[in-house]
Structure 1
Amino acid sequence: MTSQLLRRKPVTAEPADGLTRSIGTFGLMALGIGATIGTGIFFVLTTAVPEAGPAVTVGFVLAAVTAGFTALCYAELASTIPASGSSYSYAYATLGELVAYVVGWCLVLEYAVSSAAVSVGWSEYLDQLLGDTLGWSIPAALAAAPGAGGVVNLPAVVLVALCALLLVRGASESATVNAVMVVVKVGVLLLFVVLALTGFDSGNLTPFAPLGIAGISAAASSIFFSFIGLDAVSTAGEEVRDPRRTLPRAIIGALVVVTVVYLLVALAAVGAQPAADFEGQTAGLAVILERVTGASWPGIVLAAGAVVSIFSVTLVTLYGQTRILYAMSRDGMVPAVFSRLHPRTRTPVRGTVLVALFVGALAGFLPLDFLVDLTSMGTLVAFAVVSVGVVVLRRTAPDLPRGFRVPGYPVVPVLSVLFCLYLVAGLSGTTFALFAGWLALAAVVYVTYARKHSTLRDGVDGA
């Protein structure tokens, strides 16, 4: 049984008849930016600023440093193991089946919950946009989950359905649409920065950290939810041209763009509005612009940009979810339906539909604050495993061709793990309990299904 749990997948294994390689460097970097910008910046300040105050900017730096260390580790493993499945595939090749299976379930949790969370945020900005332009609001019963004062968040469900329809058409089409949306969202956020800075008041920055280090740590743990797009880049490993060069460039390039935009937006926001006003605020960035300018048009532009931006985030996180399940299904870890490709589009159509149904249910019936921390937990665990995987693969397979090597090895992977653990410690006890329940469910599925259907069940060990 022990050997079964530790068996590893061959590093060089790649299916002869799989996904189509159609995405270049810019398209892949846009995929990472698209999955990241909008995931949190449009609404995470509502929960992070009440915890950290104006020191939320420090929380963003802490989250960015953690993401930076991890991005370097991702870049090395992605250039060494250019396969779909991201950190699941990396763990399978370096740490064995059991760790890979747990990481896979963390990624399923991360992408499903984050897709639902950003869909809920999209609903808020859509409602703001409709109110500013048409003077009409979505009925409360159809605009929020039961725990947030409604019956069902219908706009969030509709968004998930639209993204699923686009994904089943093909990866290159989805990447093209996403690239256009990325240009729009970055432009809108830079407009926010310029306008919000005109209302900058240094008095809003005091007290800078009302809850001290504990508040900053808690905020940073929630903010890390905003950096999951880095993982989304590596889920496209089998659909990228020249993956050993393209993947590292796209991962690092996306991180640089995202970090700069996040810090500018956070600084402008806390400078333009007192920290106490962020709590419970919906469509917060649009509201800030309306207050600063005294006009409605900047808020309308921001809300419209958020609607476009968050659409692209949902599109990419759903894409990542389907590719994680595709890789796990191909290895026998989950049912084969998730790896069946449509003969024309070469996309996992049935798996995409099933994912959309699950995510749509989460988005429609769970409130936003319930979803954010759970996403951060899954992301941080997966990121830590990737960093450990770099060290293991350097020792077990030092001669493998690597398109990129982590600078400052082994210090950077160790720091990545420590930073991830530090942010995990800042999450709530409820989040830990829910995560434990999720892993218990994973254990049941492994014992009853995955262990018997694993493609390595005959004892193949290729590491």
Structure 2
Amino acid sequence: MARTGAAPSTPDRTGADPAPGGPTPGGGFGGRLMRRKPVDRLVAEGGHGDGGELKRSLGMWQLTMISIGATLGTGIFVVLGEAVPKAGPAVVISFVIAGFTALFSALSYAELAGSIPVSGSSYSYTYATMGEFIAWLCGWCLILEYGVSVAAVAVGWGQYLNELLDGTIGVTIPDAFANPPGAGGVVNIPALLVVLLSMAFLLRGARESARVNTVMVVVKIASLVLFCAVAFTGIRAGNFHPLMPLGMAGVSAAGATLFFSYIGFDAASTAGEEAKNPKRDMPRAIILSLFIVTVLYCLVALVAVGAMPWQQFSDADAALAQILRQVTGQSFWAVLLAAGAVIAIASVVLTVLYGQTRILFSMSRDGLVPKIFSKVDPKTGTPRANTVIVSLFCGILAALVPLGELANATSIGTLFAFALVNVAVIILRRTRPDLPRTFRVAFSPVTPAIGFLLCLWMMTSLGAQTWKWFGIWMAGGLVLYFTYGMRRSQLAREEV
């Protein structure tokens, strides 16, 4: 099991890092909010849960597949229909801009994942640098990002499953059993089914679920490559003119929309305690996954706008399928693409659900959520109770609750976490310059500062309704922290 070789530091009463130059919060109420968990202690506790240890079984390839699995899903199958009307054929440039924007935060994630290889992702990074209160807010945002998005993606899976069934056997699931109450149905059975299937794989162990995810990722990449190969025959040079019919403003607007197609690259950082060589492999997996996803997005976008005039991208839910029908004059290829979409979205559910359980595992070990979430099964090396509870919650949410604007609020939650990670890099460089780093962000603190500002800019581009739901979510998180987490945290108990 990979370790730093350093013994766990003994925290002071605030939990602050005893390293020279590290700021030590004062006492009182403010001091309790800012108590930090030393980096060496975070790393030393890695892998340990209540009743067992997580198993280190994931290599760089599997970590990369986890990040790709969490990123490459519904976005590419629906995003073109939303972005092309804004940017025209220059949507390819918009993808590059969005990927470049995501890269700044990805670099910060890569540095911290290699320095603090634990399961908590940005929650743990902020706990070590900005204190418990900010860490709780970050963790609460991650619960929104991962938990609610699992339910939202599961709902989308049911819609694509219906398309596939209709195209193959001419049967569709009745609306009553394919939509939740309030959205024209009684219960969304497909959404519940895909979450429960993902739970079954996760309960078998990280290695087994990673293998299943790898197969699904390969299939969905192959389906997108197949789309490019078939649609390439329909490319017409005239479809690229004019390149920017709505100007650079349209390209930028589309880039802001497309940024959310990159959310998920941070999933590998939640596997820090199950990676064989996390300090080496996690930074590589994060950067490699972002590169692969960006190349695929740009390739698909280039072929798509070349094969169909940009003015015809009106059906946001079936743009790629529409292109294949037009190019080939057959429905076979569109059905094959629907099959790829079903697998793609199932992979997102599996990997995002995995990330949610590992974040709650870390928060539970720190005492901020109940201990049942950090109980590890000694046979499988997985947090079984955690996995079952989270899966049932997400499955019921997807099956019975119309998510609406709450699902859109996941975008703000994600960007908030990204912003904090960029700040954490700057702080850790100052407070722990001696910390071994297998990857270093170039031109720090300028690069992470740009990443932070880009996240804020993306947040301000979101609508008022999304901000309202985000505010309600954060208010609930504050209530939970001050009534439960603040008093029951591990650092709080050590202060007594």
Report the TM-score, using the length of structure 2 for normalisation.
Answer: 0.87
Render the CA deviation track for 1:338-380: whole Å, top value 9, x for unaligned: 1111231121112112211222233234568746532221111
Distance in 1 of aligned mates of 2:152 and 2:477: 22
Could you tell me the percent identity over the aligned residues? 55
* Amino acid aligned to 1:454: S
147-156 or 446-455, larger mean C-alpha shift: 147-156
- Out of 151, 172, 175, the position equivalent to 2:210 is 175
Render the CA deviation track for 1:410-459: whole Å, top value 9, x for unaligned: 22101111111111111111111111111000000001100111101146
- Out of 221, 224, 228, the position equivalent to 1:186 is 221
* Amino acid aligned to 2:212: V
- Out of 18, 32, 38, the position equivalent to 1:10 is 38
Superposition deviation, residue 204 in structure 1: 4.7
Distance in 2 of aligned mates of 1:237 and 1:402: 15
Residues 1:210 and 1:112: Cα distance change in structure 2 (over 3 Å): farther
- The higher relative CO (CA closer than 8 Å, separation ≥ 6) is in 1
Contact 1:113 1:374 in 2 (8 A): no
* Amino acid aligned to 2:30: T
Residues 1:166 and 1:197: Cα distance change in structure 2 (over 3 Å): same
Tell me which residue corresponds to 1:410.
445
Instruction: Give structure 2 stretches of 5+ with no counterpart.
Output: 1-28
Confirm or deny that 1:19 pairs with 2:47: no
* Amino acid aligned to 2:225: L
Confirm or deny that 1:438 pairs with 2:466: no
Distance in 1 of aligned mates of 2:404 and 2:81: 10
Q: How does 1:20-39 map to 2 (within 5 A)?
A: 20-39=55-74
Render the CA deviation track for 1:286-321: whole Å, top value 9, x for unaligned: 232122211122112211111112111110000001
Superposition deviation, residue 237 in structure 1: 0.3
* Amino acid aligned to 2:442: P
Superposition deviation, residue 97 in structure 1: 0.6
Instruction: Please tell me whether Structure 1 or Structure 2 has the larger radius of gyration of its CA atoms.
Output: 2
**Residue aligned with 1:382, SS:** helix
Instruction: Give structure 1 stretches of 5+ with no counterpart.
Output: none
Tell me which residue corresponds to 2:20.
none
Distance in 1 of aligned mates of 2:458 and 2:329: 38
Render the CA deviation track for 1:81-124: whole Å, top value 9, x for unaligned: 00111000000011111111001011110011221222222222
Distance in 2 of aligned mates of 1:453 and 1:207: 61
Tell me which residue corresponds to 2:25.
none
Superposition deviation, residue 47 in structure 1: 3.5
Q: How does 1:40-439 map to 2 (within 5 A)?
A: 40-146=75-181, 148-202=183-237, 204=239, 216-275=251-310, 277-365=312-400, 370=405, 373-439=408-474
Render the CA deviation track for 1:155-193: whole Å, top value 9, x for unaligned: 112111110111111111001111111111111101111
CA RMSD of aligned residues (A): 2.2
Residues 1:109 and 1:226: Cα distance change in structure 2 (over 3 Å): same
* Amino acid aligned to 2:326: R
Contact 1:77 1:390 in 2 (8 A): yes
**Residue aligned with 2:368, SS:** coil
Q: Which of structure 1's runs of 4+ aligned residues deviate more than 6 A? A: none
248-257 or 42-51, larger mean C-alpha shift: 42-51
Distance in 1 of aligned mates of 2:161 and 2:346: 11
Residues 1:154 and 1:288: Cα distance change in structure 2 (over 3 Å): farther
**Residue aligned with 2:444, SS:** coil
Distance in 2 of aligned mates of 1:368 and 1:55: 32
Residues 1:232 and 1:444: Cα distance change in structure 2 (over 3 Å): same
Contact 2:406 2:469 in 1 (8 A): no
Render the CA deviation track for 1:186-243: whole Å, top value 9, x for unaligned: 1110111122232234555567666666655554344333222221110000000111
214-223 or 350-359, larger mean C-alpha shift: 214-223
**Residue aligned with 1:238, SS:** coil
